[in-house]
A and B are shown apart, each in its own frame.
Chain A
């Protein structure tokens, strides 16, 4: 059984982490980052974030990159991603 139970509600989601027993709310960008890194965990982080930005239609160099980096850090901090 997958460690995570993920329930999307539109662009947001809630995630149950079977390892910690914690439940997390993911706002839209955080959920998008979470999905992107789960889909391509082996790629370098800046490539994943760049690729996600292109999919979301975010212009390069916008505040998107900063926000996506922050979302990634928060996902790592709460244990939902272990990307280095």
Chain B
């Protein structure tokens, strides 16, 4: 059953009670919350995701997003994220309840999913090959990711690249795409098909909203993909679109430094990372116009298939 098939009343009742069980990529999550904004966010953004009876189904992560206490909520409305009853973060303003759920879910995966080498990077796929997009904040990574998935690329993730340590394949986690500040109106203008939920203002990242993942990406969320490229996007005002090869050794180091669990995995992290880099082409990518950026990526994906098996 999909979440959108749940009547709105049932959704809110379950969410405030036994919780909503959701399948996102390789993980199952049980979410509880008595907040309307959380119910609204899930309803708007997770409609295509599988739900089950949370009393019967096993969940990897049990999370809750609720106000800390009645008294505190009275003089300063706040919200807490909890994981298995533990609150790993300080409370945030109540208006940031929905982004806090998304950030908390990212944290759950990045800290606990040890079967993967997890890199802080977006990842999209076309014609059977994945493009990994690592980049520091402000580089236009999420804007580019949103533009690509609204143009026929499959969303695997906008934040967490999950590399299977046994197979080297990339697993999908196609949750909503986090958009910040100027990227929100840019994506609204880019495509009529973009659904973006209500924005939360004055967060640590500025104004934040989330874009619903495409239906096809959610339907294919159990398909793992071969890595094809590692591309470092950088949005620069007025810049011409340019794709330039970059050092594989330096790319490896950047990915290792931006992986959540590379150090924890020790020699196996090195092995998995090297296997990845051997299979991909690495580029720096500068752009200013989203249309041109998408066209460049499309040309890359249309190039004859490479046989970059690990060696």
Query: Which residues of A line the B interface, CB within 8 A?
Result: 5, 7, 9-10, 12-14, 16, 18, 21, 23, 25-26
Main secondary structure of the interface of A (DSSP, over half): strand
Q: How far is the CB of A11 from chain B (nearest CB, A)?
A: 9
B contacts with A: majority SS:
helix
User: Do the beta carbons of A13 and B266 come within 8 Å of each other?
Assistant: no
CA of A14 to CA of B270 in the docked complex: distance in angstroms? 9
User: Which residues of chain A are within 8 angstroms of B256 by Cβ–Cβ distance?
Assistant: 23
* A23-B274 CB under 8 A given contacts A9-B247, A12-B247: no
Q: Would you call A25 and B249 a contact (CB within 8 A)?
A: yes
Which residue numbers of B lie inside 8 Å of A, CB to CB?
Answer: 247-250, 252-253, 256, 262-263, 266-267, 270-271, 274, 277
Q: Which single member of B249, B267, B277 contacts A5 (CB below 8 Å)?
A: B267
Closest to B266 in A: A21
User: CB-CB < 8 A to A16: which residues of B?
Assistant: 267, 270
* Interfacial chain B residues near A18, Cβ < 8 Å: 266-267
With A5-B270, A9-B277, A25-B252 known, 11 other A-B pairs at CB within 8 A are A5-B267, A9-B248, A9-B249, A9-B252, A12-B248, A14-B270, A18-B266, A21-B266, A23-B256, A25-B250, A26-B249
CB distance from A1 to the nearest CB of B (A): 9
The answer to whether B274 and A7 touch across the interface, beta carbons within 8 angstroms, is yes
Question: A12 and B249: CB pair below 8 A?
Answer: yes
